[in-house]
Amino acid sequence: MTARIGVVTFPGSLDDRDAQRAIRLAGAQPIALWHGDTALRGVDAVILPGGFSYGDYLRGGAIARFAPVMETLVDAAKGGLPVLGICNGFQILCESHLLPGALTRNAHLHFRRRSQRLRVENTTSAFTGHFDAGQEIVIPVKNGEGRFVADERTLDALEAEGRVVVRYVDGNPSGAMRDIAGISNAAGNVVGMMPHPEHAVEALTGPSVDGLGLFTSVIAHLGQTAVGAGSS
């Protein structure tokens, strides 16, 4: 059965269409979800896309966190639903306390847009099973507030528990602590990352097709959990 992967559109989302396209190219069915609607429409996984939800007013993700769809999504994520937050989606996951830490203004104050080399450090999350540990991939990064920060204790715990999913190599675009580009929750079903895998799924438009791996990984992950648990 084809996996159904939801993409939430908030007012100010920019990359929801690209995320839907990436899902389709990976072989799943994209399902449009709406910020003002609590229904998750029976999806098997959810992508929170990049952009500037609610204009990034107050702080990136701060107002999106209180969107009706997030009430349902937070519970579903705690129940094991795979959720990937990309860029603004990562900010929303941190603001929702599904992931620790926060994303702050880039240390150099500049908006950074470039093809970024990353190292996949965790291949057990719901979105990284198709990569090899230590594999280097190239995915676009584009943000002004992408600097991951957390207190030392949280950073040490993330490292010790293997929850740093992707790390910047060949230069840190934001000044993120410990070069962290993406992390997961303890269960591994919730992943947030600043770089945009949905922009690296076709040779014509991306610097690579490495981003596709995150989408095919979750589809494979859903296949396994469906066999194990009967249904998701």
Q: Is residue 196 annotated as part of the catalytic site, yes or no?
A: yes
Among 12, 175, 207, 223, binds another protein (CB under 8 A): 175
Token couple for 212: 């596709």
Tell me the per-residue interface mask from 114 to 153 with another protein, x by CB under 8 A, - otherwise: ---------------------------------x-xxx--
Alpha-carbon distance of 138 to 171, in angstroms, equals: 12
- Interface residue with another protein among 1, 109, 203, 204 (CB under 8 A) is 109
Is-contact 6 67, C-beta < 8 A? no
Q: What is the DSSP string of 57-84?
A: -SSTTTTGGGSHHHHHHHHHHHTT--EE
- CA–CA distance, 6 with 230 (Å, rounded to integer): 20
Q: Confirm or reject binding of residue 107 to another protein (CB under 8 A).
A: yes
Of residues 15 through 74, those in contact with another protein by CB under 8 A are 58-59, 62-63, 66
Q: Which of 94, 95, 130, 196 is catalytic?
A: 196
Strands (E), 50-152: 83-86, 102-104, 112-120, 136-143, 147-149
Q: Which is nearer to another protein, 15 or 145 (CB)?
A: 145
Which spans of this chain sit near another protein (rule: CB under 8 A)? Answer: 58-59, 62-63, 66, 94-95, 100-102, 104-109, 147, 149-151, 175
